[in-house]
């Protein structure tokens, strides 16, 4: 992998972050990507949006997919390593994330999936778990927020329901990375007052159905 120009973190940073994730089921990290990479992701997002590449997000799995704006109101664009080759550096960084998670937390991540998400004003995503029946291969949820100049009162916080009953509000600040367990952490996106942008994804283990086949 080419280095130098790429975002890179020290082993001790990764160690600290992933310990927090293991202890609390979530962790957030500010200034996660390099400034040039952050700008590049932003530009790419805005170009896709100008080209009308986003579509309304649905809920449920393949057979039962439906658009339900009373549950979630975002528009998404699924990223693909080949089609979206301009974002190669982002994919390298995600690979680095997966490598550290495998090494430190001994999780067998075999793949990942990511989409951009855009929540227009007055939209939200009601309380849910990211791992559900038919989608039980999601191990960790990953968010990179893309909102500059986010102010208190703009809404759109991610409300996380923690295992001890505590509730934490995470403002979706630009270049903040958030990781949480997909199988245990219920969460919701509170109603946003402004356009709210993010990169959202999941680190996946081999689907159960495939395990059964092999």
Residues that bind ligand AKG (CB under 6 A): 117, 125, 130, 143, 158, 172, 187, 189, 198, 200
Q: What minimum distance in Å lies between the beta carbon of 189 and ligand AKG?
A: 5
Cβ-closest position to ligand AKG? 158
Number of residues that bind Fe ion (CB under 5 A): 1
Q: Which does 200 bind (CB under 5 to 8 A by kind): ligand AKG, Fe ion, none?
A: ligand AKG
Give yes or no for residue 130 binding Fe ion (CB under 5 A). yes
Residue 74 engages Fe ion in binding (rule: CB under 5 A): no
What's the CA gap between 145 and 172, in Å, rounded? 5
Q: Answer with the entry of Fe ion, ligand AKG, none that 143 interacts with (C-beta below 5 to 8 A by kind).
A: ligand AKG
The nearest distance, CB 82 to ligand AKG, in angstroms, is: 23
Q: Which is nearer to ligand AKG, 89 or 157 (CB)?
A: 157
List all residues 6 or more positions away from 176 whose beta carbon is below 8 Å from its beta carbon.
28, 29, 30, 32, 143, 144, 145, 170
What is the closest distance, in whole angstroms, from the C-beta atom of residue 185 to Fe ion in the complex?
A: 9
Candidates 87-95, 113-121, 127-135, 170-178 — which segment interacts with Fe ion by CB under 5 A? 127-135
Alpha-carbon separation of residue 125 from 1, 47, 116, 170 (angstroms): 37, 24, 15, 14
Which of residues 25 and 88 has its CB atom nearest to ligand AKG in the complex? 25
**DSSP assignment string, 101-163:** HHHHH-----EEEEEEEEE-TT--EEEE-S-BTTBTTEEEEEEEE-BTT--TTSB-PEEEE-T
- State which residue, 37 or 141, has the beta carbon closest to Fe ion: 141
Contacts with Fe ion by CB under 5 A lie at: 130
């Amino acid at each position: 992998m080419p280095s130098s120009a790429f975002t890179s973190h020290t082993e001790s940073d990764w160690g600290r972050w992933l310990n927090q994730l293991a202890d609390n089921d979530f962790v957030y990290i500010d200034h996660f990507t390099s400034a040039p990479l952050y700008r590049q992701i932003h530009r790419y997002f805005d170009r896709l949006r100008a080209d009308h590449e986003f579509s309304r997000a649905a809920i449920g799995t393949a057979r039962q997919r439906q658009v339900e704006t009373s549950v979630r109101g975002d528009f998404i664009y699924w990223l693909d390593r080949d089609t979206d080759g301009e974002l190669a550096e982002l994919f390298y960084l995600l690979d680095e994330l997966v490598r550290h998670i495998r090494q430190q937390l001994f999780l067998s991540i075999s793949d990942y999936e990511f989409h951009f998400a855009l929540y227009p004003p007055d939209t939200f995503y009601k309380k849910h778990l990211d791992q559900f029946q038919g989608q039980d291969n999601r191990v960790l949820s990953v968010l990179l927020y893309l909102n500059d100049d986010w102010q208190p009162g703009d809404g759109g916080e991610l409300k996380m329901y923690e295992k001890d009953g505590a509730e934490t509000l995470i403002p979706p600040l630009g270049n903040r990375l958030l990781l949480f367990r997909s199988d245990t952490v219920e969460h919701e996106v509170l109603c946003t007052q402004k356009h709210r942008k993010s990169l959202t994804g999941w680190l996946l283990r081999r689907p159960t159905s495939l395990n059964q086949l092999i």
